[in-house]
Amino acid sequence: MSKILITGGAGFIGSHVVRLFVNKYPHYEIYNLDKLTYAGNLENLKDIEASENYNFIKGDIVDQDFVQELFQAHKFDSVIHLAAESHVDRSISNPTEFIFANIVGTVNLLNVAKSIWDEDGNNIFYHVSTDEVYGSLGNEGLFEETTPYDPRSPYSASKASSDHLARAYWHTFNVPIKISNCSNNYGSHQFPEKLIPLMINNIQHNKSLPVYGAGENVRDWLWVVDHARAIDVVFHNGKIGETYNIGGHNEWKNLDLIHLLCDIMDEKLAREEGTSRELITFVKDRAGHDMRYAIDSSKIEKELGWIPSITFEQGLEQTVDWYLENKEWLDRVTSGAYQEYYSAQYQ
């Protein structure tokens, strides 16, 4: 039986990965390690928490002694490392927190893997990263696995550093790493500080929809379920030491995306067409705001056979439906009520 540690498994992307692995691989023992910060929510995993092959551990990867003791106690075969501070705005207001979580935390995991795993063992250290490490594109071109790194925010700089460290541990210490860099994810269970759930929540409550600058910034959007599927494929079939870019072939200007979302919400809420668009408010642009991200996913498609399973319009409508059907989840998350409950339960 494989024992896999998934860090950050109570978060947005992490919870989808945990759910997929628990359900698809009943012969694996899945350990979800999460600090349960504002973005880590065990309600995301209510549907699988009673599964025999699922285990939750509350802890902080920045605590080196804790990580060492955890590995020694459970003898994990592999790690899928998703734990990270991930919101660019928060990294601008508090860069130090991102340095500790994203760099020191990653190094602690790599050090323990290096010290415990046998070089001839069948182990995998899978580091999940972002396309933001590549910087900003102009009107043309795509991020490839060989694109030079050019991070522009404390968040992307911290993720770039952790990518480099993972590769360094592979080349220097033979820690068997795999890396993937993904585009913007969207879908269910995302904390509502991110663009799509924020807009859905604000539209429901007739609040303003803040748009940075002129809304011309372009992002490539990837349905989180498809990202979890890609992680599954890379984990099982990707080559040790390789990097795989994961994108949705799906570029949207922020303003165009918000217009589409407003129109979907007007229809779902039986409002007059154009009502939600009136809530759009343009605000001062974010410092160091990258203009365009777009990923070339041809490597993972050609080598591993992964492709996105649905269109953005299909995924966005499913996402809207989920948030509208789970208003209690959204209310609890925005109020912080769930944090108090789980903090008391997992001391």
Catalogue the active-site residues. 131-132, 155
Reduce the DSSP state of residue 181 to 3 states and report it: strand
- CA atoms of 302 and 221, how far apart (whole Å): 20
Question: How many helices (H) and strands (E) would you count in the chain?
Answer: 13, 12
Q: For residue 238, is it left (φ>0), alpha (ψ between -120 and 50) or beta?
A: beta
Q: Identify the H or E element spanning 6.
A: strand 3-7
Q: Which residue has the tokens 């777009």?
A: 294
- CA atoms of 117 and 325, how far apart (whole Å): 45
SS3 content of the chain, % helix, strand, coil (to 5): 45, 15, 35
Q: In 3D, which of 102, 109, 80 has the Cα closest to residue 19?
A: 80
Which positions ≥6 away from 106 have C-beta within 8 Å? 61, 81, 127, 162, 165, 166
- For residue 285, give the DSSP letter: P
- CA atoms of 126 and 298, how far apart (whole Å): 20
Q: For residue 178, is it left (φ>0), alpha (ψ between -120 and 50) or beta?
A: beta
DSSP per-residue letters across 26-48: TTSEEEEEE---TT--GGGGTTT
* φ/ψ of residue 207, rounded to 5: -95, 160
Residue type, 245: N
With both helix axes pointing from N to C terminus, report the angle between 195-204 and 254-268 in degrees, rounded to the nearest 10: 40
- CA atoms of 174 and 232, how far apart (whole Å): 22
